[in-house]
Structure 1
Amino acid sequence: MHICFITHEYPKKGHPHGGVGTFVQTMARALVQRGHTVSVVGQHYISRDEDENDQGVAIYRLKKHAVKGLSWWFNAKDINTKLKALHAVDPITIVEASELGLAFIKKLKGVKYVIRLHGGHHFFAEAENRGINLWKGFQEKRSFKKADGFVAVSNYVKTHTEKYLDFYDKPLAYSPSPIDLERFYPRPDIKIKRHHIAFVGTVCEKKGIRQLILAMPKVLKEVPDAILHIYGRDWYFADGTSYIDHLKTDVLPNLEKGPEHIIFHGPIPYDEIPSKYAEAEVCVFPSHMETQGLVAPEAMAMGKPVVFSELGPGPEIIEHQTNGLLCDPHSPDSIAECICELLINKEEAESLAKKAAKSAKELYSIEAAADRNTNFYRSLIRTN
């Protein structure tokens, strides 16, 4: 098969990327290893084209247009032109995109189009209790109409997406995003730093980082030398102001104790993330909303005791008090209670960590995910 992913987020050194980019890279490399041809087409970060090859994955980054009010048209035109050119040389079997990705894609005869539910505009509008942007809402609905099939990364994202968008009785599969178990695995060679707590992810409100910071004074009452390490890129408000600056100026100074126990490291290279998990005694991800989330399974695969959110897909990933702990991400008290339980009760933490590694290996292996996805692709090809 020739599978083509449409995404602007494929990882590029020196540029931050999110979970969608990580997923596409992981899956694309795995499909290449199975003998499939894989292409990735998307906008570049800059105004010039650039082609590259990543372990057999052909990446086509198209120059980014900045024409006020018409950028979407020029960008879509370039993507359609590239897809047509690729198809002419080596016929494409599957085109895959996220929720809005097919809105302005012209369908090629004989090609099947898949939308992967990573969490689109309607999904997050509900989650964040905000209105639907008419332009984005229009694109998402238009995109869904063009799809020949859908893949949900969690039952939660499927259930909440279908409140607003129609799947048109098209085939739908469930396939959690995989993690790279050759990168994320137990590392006994790396010394654990006593009472260190790690958070990895975009530093923004919906990741629960404010509540995690507010939990620290309560943690420090029980574990006075605990330190919270925050690794991740900044998020910016509509007016361009920094969320990290907001935390440093409006939240940290009001803590009754502990600002010096909270360290912002900023974004770090993806290759360094496993070592940061390994150094921590506990990994904490109190997200208000996720479609699946990769950080919790990554830390679990490394044999770390993990605190995740009881909301959204949390219970699909962690069974509370079996392979991790689930907290109320809106409650600093709940977050602090879970952290203290793991820092103080070493035997429990070790037991949860071992079971976490086992379950992550079973559920999130690249091999299992590649099987699920190729089987679904083939089932679409067989349909008229």
Structure 2
Amino acid sequence: MNQQQSSRVAWLLPSMGRGGISWQHILREFTQIFPNTRVFTGEWVGYVPGFEDSFELQTVGRTQFMETGKSNQGYGFGFSYASPTIIYHLFKFKPQVVITNAFSVWSILALLFKFLGGWRVIVAYEGGSPNSNYETNSLRLRSRRFIVAGADGFVANSQAGKDYLINVLGANPDKIFCRPFLVPSLDALLRSPQADQERLAETLPRPIFLHVGQIIERKGVRTLLEACHQLKTKHLPFTLLLIGDGEQRPELEAYTQTAGLEDAIHWLGKIDYGALGSYFRRADVFVFSTNEDIWGMVLPEAMAFGKAVLCSKGAGAAEMVIHGENGFVFSPNQPQELADLMGQFLETPTLATAMGAKSAEIMTAHTPAAATTIFTAAVEHVQRAV
């Protein structure tokens, strides 16, 4: 039995709610390499169809987010409570390595007890954003620097995340393994490939732009609709499909009517994750207009389906876009800039196909199996350092 097969690895993911889907692809691949892996979470919505029982999971307590402040344009402020009984479960499981998500309470507890438990700690960092980096909050920075000082290794999902770990939190660059690991599984997105095809009739005017996400202010949907309003002055056909729901939808639907966009805008509401692939396939261009997103899984999902992409600089995933090659990046809250970029796809019908081919080429290096190699490398690194 080799070391990978015998190593006991614990993953601490306090929240695997809506966003937990992006972790399941990695966990399935990782468990095939390290079969003695157990995932601990305080929020669980179930396996993605097709991933049932592909990794062992145990719920511990209940994770809750305590909001201390709001931001209209970005993430709110607050902290997450996760059960301290995770330590009991770790001692019972007896891992050699603990992979913990970012700067949670569980990360602090894993580090406080790591010498007593005899495990090594790897911090997995999805990335940051202006509101989630807390660079002006001295208490938050001290707690994060404590975690960074005690961790044995890091896995960063983005170059910006790696820079934050080094330049703000003082991490040792030699301990950081960096590459995008929040990448899609096409299999999971195509579990229901025939879903709702009647809504996507072939008669829809092209190009078809697609937006997937919550209809809330942070996602910048208002900017996207204002850009569509400006596009109407070109008197060229186009369609925008909006997948998702949220508190801002009634306001924006009213704006759509006022702006005379009813024929171009289609509100599709919530769609099952396993049916999203069929919508990505039908679209020509994916638009991610967010004001602030730590990453934005929908962008690499669109790229994996070979789509041209328009991505706001407010998304961490913007670093996946090679401006002018597989799409364009633009400033958030700038509808004219976005309208000008969207207009290029109206005026040059072949542009979406060419850029989409580049997206598909880029994503050949970003499969779940490829992304898992960075966690394997990190685990082997910290075990060699024992």
TM range (shorter): 0.7 to 0.9
Show the 5 A alignment for 1:228-377: 228-234=240-246, 242-248=247-253, 252=256, 256-258=259-261, 261-310=264-313, 313=316, 316-362=319-365, 364-377=366-379
Deviates more, 1:264-273 or 1:221-230: 221-230
Residue 221 (structure 2) pairs with residue 209 (structure 1): yes
> Structure 1: how far apart are the matches of 2:267 and 2:152?
44
Residue 205 (structure 2) pairs with residue 194 (structure 1): yes
Match of 1:29? 28
Match of 1:50? none
Report the CA distance shift for 1:131/1:259 in structure 2 as closer, same or farther (over 3 A): farther
- Equivalent position to 1:220, from 215, 227, 232: 232
Residue 124 (structure 2) pairs with residue 116 (structure 1): yes
Question: Is the contact between residue 160 and residue 316 of structure 2 (CA under 8 Å) also seen in structure 1?
Answer: yes
Report the CA distance shift for 1:74/1:244 in structure 2 as closer, same or farther (over 3 A): closer
> Structure 2: how far apart are the matches of 1:151 and 1:161?
10
1:313 Cα offset (Å)? 4.5
The amino acid that maps onto 1:244 is R
Residue 50 (structure 2) pairs with residue 39 (structure 1): no
> Structure 2: how far apart are the matches of 1:158 and 1:233?
33
The amino acid that maps onto 2:89 is K
Match of 2:175? 171
Question: Is the contact between residue 95 and residue 111 of structure 1 (CA under 8 Å) also seen in structure 2?
Answer: no
1:259 Cα offset (Å)? 5.1
Q: Percent identity?
A: 20
Match of 1:57? 55
1:133 Cα offset (Å)? 5.9
> Structure 2: how far apart are the matches of 1:43 and 1:289?
25
The amino acid that maps onto 1:305 is A
Report the CA distance shift for 1:283/1:229 in structure 2 as closer, same or farther (over 3 A): same
- Equivalent position to 1:383, from 374, 378, 385: 385
> Structure 2: how far apart are the matches of 1:266 and 1:217?
21
> Structure 2: how far apart are the matches of 1:256 and 1:206?
21
1:64 Cα offset (Å)? 2.2
Name the count of aligned residue pairs. Answer: 351
Q: CA RMSD in A?
A: 3.5
CA offset digits 1:74-116 (Å, max 9, x no partner): 84322222222222xxx34233222324133343333111212
1:274 Cα offset (Å)? 1.0
> Structure 1: how far apart are the matches of 2:216 and 2:136?
20
Query: What TM-score does the superposition give when structure 2 sets the normalisation length?
Result: 0.78
> Structure 1: how far apart are the matches of 2:279 and 2:378?
35
CA offset digits 1:29-56 (Å, max 9, x no partner): 001223433222121369xxxxxx9333
Question: Is the contact between residue 223 and residue 340 of structure 1 (CA under 8 Å) also seen in structure 2?
Answer: no
CA offset digits 1:242-299 (Å, max 9, x no partner): 34345446x556x533256434433322111111211222210123334443211111
SS in 1 for 2:107: coil
Report the CA distance shift for 1:23/1:377 in structure 2 as closer, same or farther (over 3 A): farther
Residue 154 (structure 2) pairs with residue 153 (structure 1): no
